[in-house]
Amino acid sequence: DNVDLGDLMFSLCYLPTAGRLTITIIKARNLKAMDITGASDPYVKVSLMCEGRRLKKRKTSTKRNTLNPVYNEAIVFDVPPENIDQINLWIAVMDYDRVGHNEVIGVCQVGNDAESLGRDHWNEMLSYPRKPIAHWHPLVEVR
């Protein structure tokens, strides 16, 4: 049962000399509506993971009442070149709720441990340092 949760476009860029990993959250499309109004208030939460542990997390601003938000927000993590192979980024698109807790709309992962597209995007970033590489990623349910 492959529910369509929407897609997220982001670019990855790594500067090995500075040890800086930049993920730019560009936009999302066709997000699953989480509110009774038929829309969502989406924001994106990015977690820097190392061997299953969360080292850092950052999030974008919240876009009100839309299923196709545009962010263009860059999130920068310091990752020394000797650690880049142990790192994964876990990206969750969340629905902000004033009442109750924020719900996860969908997630995607990039890094060495990621599957197919997430790993390909990561490897492409490593092959072309200093160049932002953007791709659409389908969101999946949190397992």
Contact 31, 94 (CB under 8 A): no
Domain of residue 31, CATH code: 2.60.40.150
Over the chain (143 residues), the average pLDDT of each successive run of 10 is: 84 98 98 88 97 95 97 98 96 91 95 94 98 97 83
Structural domain range at position 106 = 4-137
Positive or negative CA dihedral for 42, 135, 126, 14?
negative
Q: Is 53 within the bounds of a domain? A: yes
What does pTM read for this prediction?
0.95
Pairing of strands 20-29, 7-15: antiparallel
Measured between alpha carbons, how far is 71 from 26 in angstroms, rounded to an integer?
5
Structural domain contains residue 143:
no
pLDDT of res. 2: 56
